[in-house]
Structure 1
Amino acid sequence: MHHHTRLKLAAAGAVACIAFAAGCRSTPELVAPPQGAAISNPHQYDDEWFAAARLGRIDILKALLEAGYPIDSTTDAGYTALILSAYDDQPAALDFLMQAGANPCLGDKHGNTALMGALFKGELPIARSLMNTHCAIDQTNNAGETALSFAALFGRLTLLPQLVSRGANPDHTDAHGGTALQMAEAQGNRAAANALRKVGATR
């Protein structure tokens, strides 16, 4: 059961990697709309918007927002610009988007949030920034996994105390009834199991 859950997480991560890599292979020429112009069809600038988030092009993001581009638009996979900026280690773009009102709590089609993406990629400064948003610290993805689950399973163990101090439940059960500690033990991951126990996991 726990192995199945981990496989689902790994598969979701692999899909995310493929999707992001595919998006980065051919970067469109980033051209913002003329200054002062309003966008009649916002989605004609989808390529520019999401590429700007991945590349940290705040100038393009700002110009598109000023022209009326919807800040929480998503790709076909459900990625927002904020998720992409977190995943691709663009802290300045992430900060800009959050200050402009982007919703950091939105998940992709698998329910994975920007925080989960940052933990998966190991972008720890970005993860710390996202931990300080208004989002529920135990927000779950479609598999019932939380940010603490991601931190434990992907080896971001230094963040476990900070997550728990912000209210994360170390004994949270996922959609299959398993906990992060049970999964760590099933994997033989002693470091994760010990780290989880240190922050209060009991089952």
Structure 2
Amino acid sequence: MVMCSLAIPHAATAQFSSSYNFLKAVKDRDGTEATKFLNQPGTVIVNTRDVSTGETALHIVMARRDATWAGFLLQKGANPNLRDKQGTTPLMLATQLRFVEGAKILLAKNADVNQTNNQGETALIRAVQLRDSEMTRLLLKNGADPDRPDTLAGLSARDYATRDRRAASILNEIEKADAEKKPESEGRFFGPEG
């Protein structure tokens, strides 16, 4: 019985060490070392989190705007929807950094475009607040909900765009996305002639 209790702490220490070393390899851009951890059979280390921040390897590579590493990690099974301790997802991070290429990579791998951080903000709300037309357009095209309110102020992306006089082009993007969602026949009258 004593041996079992000794084995468990050892396994936990080994896992922590592997997680730490994997994240360090990602931070150091050491592909050989990172691949060594990722190629271990049955591993889920690609989604390991930094103990202090909750960041995953995908957060690390988004922060440095590294599309190559992002693609590599996603190919190895990285979950694009994991949140750090502030609730920030890799997509939200890409949005904050105006890293459109990174956002496209994440969205192509099913990043949840409407996921929220701890303040209830979505990536679209952040894009609107940054007055980033290109990111706003990308997020809307991928199903972002312009009417989902945050929990901080109770405002949606549309509300923020409407209130910010400098965001006319952003509001235009939201309205354009609304128009594209409507069926072509909506608003047309079809009489008895068809």
Establish whether TM, by shorter chain, passes 0.5: yes
Choose the corresponding residue for 2:137, options 154, 161, 172. 161
CA apart distance, 1:169: 1.1
Aligned match of 1:149: 125
Does the 8 Å CA contact 1:53/1:90 hold for their aligned counterparts? Answer: no
- Quick check: which has more Rg, 1 or 2? 2
- Provide, for residues 101-157 of structure 1, a one-character-per-residue CA deviation record: whole Å limited to 9, x for no partner: 111110111111001101111211111111222232211111111121122222331
Q: Following the alignment from structure 2 to structure 1, what is the Cα–Cα distance between the partners of residues 162 and 68?
A: 38
Shift in CA distance, 110/50, structure 1 to aligned 2, threshold 3 Å? same
Structure 1 segments unaligned to the other structure (5+ residues): 1-38
Q: TM-score, normalised by structure 1?
A: 0.70
- Give, as a single letter, the amino acid of the residue that structure 2 aligns with 1:44: S
Contact 2:22 2:34 in 1 (8 A): yes
- State the one-letter code of the partner of 2:159: Q
> Mapping of 1:84-163 within 5 angstroms?
84-163=60-139
Deviation at 1:50, TM superposition (A): 2.4
One of 168, 175, 190 as aligned partner of 1:197:
175
Count of residues in Structure 1 that have an aligned counterpart in Structure 2 = 164
1:178 maps onto 2:155 in alignment: yes
Q: Which runs of no fewer than 5 residues in structure 2 stay unpaired?
A: 1-11, 180-194
Deviation track 1:155-176 (CA, whole Å, cap 9, x = no partner) reads 3311323322221111221114
Contact 1:56 1:92 in 2 (8 A): no
Structure 1 stretches of 4+ with a deviation exceeding 4 A read: none
2: distance between equivalents of 1:79 and 1:143?
A: 17
Deviations 1:24-51 (A, max 9, x none): xxxxxxxxxxxxxxx9713224454223
How many angstroms apart in 2 are the aligned matches of 1:88 and 1:51?
A: 14
- Higher relative CO (CA 8 A, sep ≥ 6), structure 1 or 2? 1
Q: What are the within-5 Å matches in structure 2 for residues 50-61 of structure 1? A: 50-61=23-34
Q: If the length of structure 2 is used for normalisation, what is the TM-score?
A: 0.73
Q: Which has the larger displacement, 172-181 or 52-61?
A: 52-61
CA distance in 2, matches of 1:200, 1:54: 40
- AA at the equivalent of 2:38: L
Rate the CA distance shift 1:192–1:55 in 2: closer, same or farther, 3 A.
Answer: farther
Range that drifts further, 166-175 or 111-120: 166-175
% identical aligned pairs = 28
Is the alpha carbon distance of 1:82 and 1:170 closer, same or farther for their aligned partners in structure 2, counting shifts above 3 Å?
same
Q: Distance in 2 between matches of 1:132 and 1:66?
A: 23
